[in-house]
A and B are shown apart, each in its own frame.
Chain A
């Protein structure tokens, strides 16, 4: 069902050699035309020129290096939304090769596929046993799964103990060296393999070196691609804002984003039918290694989402407002699944074997488990140009990604266009950058197919409202530990009329006078409260999840990644 991505000429290609004179600082002011001098002054004033802009979407060479799409929409006008084939996936899944896991690869992949996923990543914890043998032992199972389920793209990755920080998904394109690269990476850079005497600074440097190592393996053609996503980033407050910025800058072709929502979404289901804990297992408090600037609100989930993503004008927005491309995803983090009836294989010796024995059936229903099977609840939807490992990685890298919980909506096609341009083949998609001349009118076109099929909880979710969130792009921040974006807010909300099958709206974004970005958020409308930065910023944001009584099916949201509009 996929289609080719037809390359064609377009007027503003983002190649490094193609920088407009106003943006090319090697061209002195004196050699510019008067209009370019004025444009350069404008760009400089907006923080879009000079050092610091280089690591962002604001510098076209860097954008190209990061695989960012340029200022045109997908070509070809394929059968799927926006000319892309949207592939649903999950990048955070554990198996019997994790010290706290139990399932076979095929257990997880089979369920994920049955529940509608097109791709997934097996991410067992970095550990002594995994680094020594597990990372190799899991591979034949993954290969067998690829053969058994050809309609599912099964990546091998691992869950990296980021030195000095939280965990991260790391995965590579399948190939001859997939295990060798992952194994070398884990043995060299996993937090579990580093001396306990390391200082924080040494560990932070190791994290950066690890990301760079992955990029080097791609450049050396060992693997066809490698990606990094920070997992449950605010859970314990130990992913400081400057570390996140450093990871991105270490290699923007590898470090692409973070989990917008953690897994473990069943953990807040009320006892005795559920675990009765905190949604996402976000029940920690500041520790000595936590970033001292984070408020207590950072340690809990809001409508199931991580505080960094859930807060309008918060940490995620502070990165986007800088022009720093950083994407969000959702996942299952499946270890042991809610209402499953299996348990770890008896007689296991994880340390010796690098895995637990295969799970066995029990007559007991596990109501205390906090996880859902992959695909059961959350989806990371990637706009791909074809059904392939590479296309999924490219789509992720480009930020052509929207996420939802509980199948809240069927499809999302959001594009920013020059006002009036309605060509099917044009419009800048999620993750993209539209460059237009100052004064050009742009608009958002949004088409959402509302859900008409029941989800895995057997009801048809109803989208109640869609929010358009817009932020001014301010360029590089003075402090790399900044985590607010004061100019970002909800600018428009669309109520969805009940019973409709489609939401189709156009929202004018005005004539470009300063660079900005937008992102979208939708909700079933059941649980909202004013945003943490005030009702003027976010009148009806996600609500703090209730400890011990957070029904994941009664509080559904979708989020899209951003689109930037920048002056040419």
Chain B
């Protein structure tokens, strides 16, 4: 029984951002084997989730979100938070190690195509790949010390920060 054979649940609690959605996800009584966030435009901008459980899903997760479920089923879009191997993506790893250890199938450098398999990625323990045309893809950018870092940082500069 692979993940592809398990049912996908789409749910929307109208979280304002991915941080709130991930917070809710972390508090679930059962950890899903796959969980993605999906950016929704209507009725107002919010974040929905798609969830795949290995066993019984927790009851009454929230209002259903068929769009999120469909995006996950077709693997056309979505940002993976929980996926096979995510816990092993800590510290600095080579691109090859990331692909070997996790469900991530492809690592790209922003504006530069596929990353070299020997390139080192400073994961920061925060790795959020995206479904892109059916492939779970991690976007990275060059960073200090000839490393790559995941495109998404855990602590982006907030708007109007006291910087």
Contact = CB atoms under 8 A, between A and B. Distances in A.
B161 A549 contact: no
A99 B39 contact: no
Given A287-B39, A288-B47, A300-B110, A547 B144 contact: yes
Contacts of A292: 39, 41
A285 B156 contact: yes
B163 A370 contact: yes
A350 to B, nearest CB: 10
A285 B112 contact: no
Given A369-B163, A544-B141, A549-B143, A288 B17 contact: yes
Interface string B100-144: 000000000011100000000000000000000000000101111
A288 B39 contact: yes
Contacts of B163: 100, 264, 281, 335-336, 369-370
A91 interface: no
A99 B39 CA distance: 30
Interface stretch (A13-21, A34-42, A270-278, A470-478): A270-278
Interface string A324-344: 000000000001100000000
A270 B45 contact: no
Contacts of A449: none
B110 A548 contact: no
Interface residues of B, number: 31
Interface stretch (B24-32, B53-61, B81-89, B145-153): B145-153
A236 B159 contact: yes
B23 interface: no
Given A287-B39, A288-B46, A290-B39, A546 B110 contact: no
A314 to B, nearest CB: 12
A125 B142 contact: no
Nearest to A547: B143
B81 to A, nearest CB: 13
Interface string A202-244: 0000000000000000000000000000000000100000000
Interface of B: 16-18, 39-41, 43-47, 110-112, 139, 141-145, 149, 151-153, 156-157, 159-163
A529 B39 contact: no
A510 to B, nearest CB: 32
Interface in A257-295: 264, 270-271, 276-278, 281, 283-290, 292
Contact of B157 (A271, A278, A300, A548): A278
A479 interface: no
A532 interface: yes
B162 A297 contact: no
Nearest to A282: B157
B87 to A, nearest CB: 22
A338 to B, nearest CB: 11
A284 B17 CA distance: 12
Contact of A544 (B45, B46, B111): B111
A99 B157 contact: no
Nearest to A531: B111
Contacts of B112: 529, 544
Contacts of B156: 283-285
Given A288-B46, A296-B139, A529-B112, 15 more contacts: A100-B163, A199-B43, A200-B41, A200-B44, A285-B156, A288-B17, A290-B39, A300-B141, A336-B163, A369-B163, A546-B143, A546-B144, A548-B143, A549-B144, A549-B145
B39 A547 contact: no
A125 B161 CA distance: 11
Contacts of A285: 151-153, 156
Contact of A529 (B43, B111, B141, B157): B111
A285 B139 CA distance: 11
A548 B144 contact: yes
Contacts of B144: 270-271, 276, 546-549
Contacts of A236: 159
Q: Of B141, B153, B161, which is in contact with the most chain A CB atoms at under 10 Å from its CB?
A: B141
B120 to A, nearest CB: 14
A224 B104 CA distance: 58
Contacts of A281: 157, 163
Contacts of A99: 160, 162
Contacts of B47: 288
* 4 pairs of A and B residues whose beta carbons are closest in the complex: A548-B144, A288-B45, A549-B144, A547-B143
A277 B163 CA distance: 12
14 contacts: A100-B161, A125-B160, A200-B41, A200-B45, A236-B159, A287-B39, A288-B17, A297-B110, A529-B111, A544-B110, A546-B144, A547-B144, A548-B143, A549-B144
Nearest to B43: A199
A543 B159 CA distance: 25
A288 B46 CA distance: 5
Interface string A516-557: 000000000000010010000000000010111100000000
Contacts of B149: 547
Contact of B141 (A287, A532, A547): A547
B160 A284 contact: no
B39 A283 contact: no
Given A292-B39, A369-B163, A548-B144, A297 B46 contact: no
B92 to A, nearest CB: 14
A236 to B, nearest CB: 7
Contacts of B152: 285
